[in-house]
Amino acid sequence: MNGMRTWVKAWAAVAALWPAGVVVAAEPSVGSRAPEVRAQAWLNAQGPTTLAGLRGKVVVVEFWATWCGPCLQSIPHIDALAKRWADKGLTVLSLTREDRRTVEQFFRSQNFDPSYIIGCGSNSLSAYGVRGIPRSFVIDPTGAVAWVGHPMSGLDEVVAKMLASVDPPTSAPATDPNDAELSTAAEAVSEADYARALAILEDVLKSSADEARSRQASELMARVLEAGDGKLDEAQSLLKEKKYVEAAELLRGLAEQFADTEVGRKARAKLIALRRQPGASSALQQEQWRQEAEAMLARADVLVEQKRYAQAAERYRLVTMLYSRTDAGTKARLKVRQLKDDEQIAAQIREQKATRKAVGWLSIARSYARIGRDARARATYRKLIRAYPDTSYAEAARQEMANLSR
């Protein structure tokens, strides 16, 4: 990462995500409930990661991108922070809209192996109202936002202070350091990776004839199931508060992590009952629509970043038509209006639309010419020339139409 540090110094402190004048949703304020995080793929994690599943821990949620100079400058800092406080229970979630392949290729090119969790293909940036990256949020053990800011300005102090005031993470019973399986299982328990811990411990209990080793495995197993019961109680509290979406997220995680245990069976039963509950089923359906709308909105936002404004405007309009009653639908309507109101962007949209139409007509005319339908080819060429007379496409049409007469 040394070479990367050199060139990023010339970048500004924050990379902007939106064209000038475009307004995005407000960031969650300190003390408010942190929006749930989502990603299409997770690196350095055992399956999907959620804030609901990390309840009880201090979490840093960071937004970044491989093309963002200031983000690249903060990567070693974030990595050092994650390593420094790992034994105190800190979890770092670094989210980007970019896909898994792009992210993996980037880290390979930098010969750098991050120690924290990375979410790829994430649409959570919109839910967090982020205007520029890098941007970090510290989430307290109750799931509330405790701090918002640039990762290089005050994050370390906030994390240190919070971890000093919370209970330490659950520690696993001492194991023989020379026993690779039990040591790995103990590490998984400390990291709340219960699925991995259970798989290892079940194998040990089935195959080990050593009484002391079996006793250690049983103690670890009891600790895992105790943690699962605690999460079930947490889900029940959320249900009593009618926080159905958060409860469903937590129950889904428990059903996956504790698949073949009593905890997993209880989680599945509660989840099925929740989906059948009239008020809850409506909330969960709305949440599904919200996620779909936010994902489509995020894809449109990426097109804006790429300055493909015509395609972005079409995508925003689609969000307004399909998800008109969602927050994403409201945001999309606002963004369409803002793109139109920006004279430079509006001009680029007209140009991009013209290019797409001209390329399409030129392709159609050439197809007619190839199969000998010259009259149709000429009509299409003339249509292009009339609509876009001063473009390179019109000039190509004139030349190709002249060749038809030879």
Q: Which domain holds residue 222?
A: 180-276
Sign of CA pseudo-dihedral 291, 294, 300, 301: negative
Give a yes or no: residue 171 inside a domain.
Answer: no
Same domain, 205 and 262: yes
Give a yes or no: residue 170 inside a domain.
Answer: no
**pLDDT tens digits for 5-52?**
433 333 344 455 555 544 456 788 888 888 888 888 889 887 678 887
pLDDT at 225 (0 to 100): 84
Same domain, 219 and 354: no
Same domain, 250 and 394: no
**For the domain that residue 148 is a member of, what is the CATH number?**
3.40.30.10
DSSP string, 25-55: PPPPPTTSBPPPP--SEEESSSS---TGGGT
pLDDT at 65 (0 to 100): 92
Spatial CA neighbour of 125 closest among 316, 317, 329, 295: 295
Same domain, 23 and 98: yes
Query: CA-CA distance, 68 to 78, in Å (whole number)?
Result: 15
DSSP string, 180-217: HHHHHHHHHHHTT-HHHHHHHHHHHHHH---HHHHHHH
Same domain, 67 and 131: yes
pLDDT at 63 over 90: yes
**pLDDT tens digits for 284-316?**
777 777 777 887 888 788 888 888 888 888 888
More confident site: 3 or 249: 249
Same domain, 257 and 321: no
Q: Is residue 327 helix, strand or coil? A: helix
Same domain, 92 and 58: yes
Per-residue confidence band for 56, with pLDDT thresholds at 50, 70 and 90: confident
pLDDT at 91 (0 to 100): 93
Spatial CA neighbour of 169 closest among 56, 60, 61: 56
E-assigned strand segments in 91-248: 91-95, 117-120, 132-133, 135-139, 145-149
> Do 381 and 401 contact (CB within 8 A), yes or no?
yes
Query: CA-CA distance, 69 to 25, in Å (whole number)?
Result: 24
Sheet strands side by side (includes 145-149): 41-43, 117-120, 91-95, 59-63, 135-139, 145-149
Same domain, 155 and 191: no
Same domain, 245 and 311: no
pLDDT at 3 (0 to 100): 43
pLDDT at 355 (0 to 100): 79
Same domain, 14 and 146: yes
**For the domain that residue 200 is a member of, what is the CATH number?**
1.25.40
**pLDDT tens digits for 250-289?**
887 788 788 778 888 898 888 888 878 877 877 777 777 7
The CA–CA distances, whole Å, from 385 to 39, 100, 361, 391 equal: 46, 44, 10, 8
Same domain, 153 and 14: yes
For the chain, how many structural domains are there in total?
4
Q: What is the CA radius of gyration of the chain?
A: 27
Same domain, 80 and 229: no
Give a yes or no: residue 285 inside a domain.
Answer: no
Spatial CA neighbour of 327 closest among 286, 285, 280, 283: 286
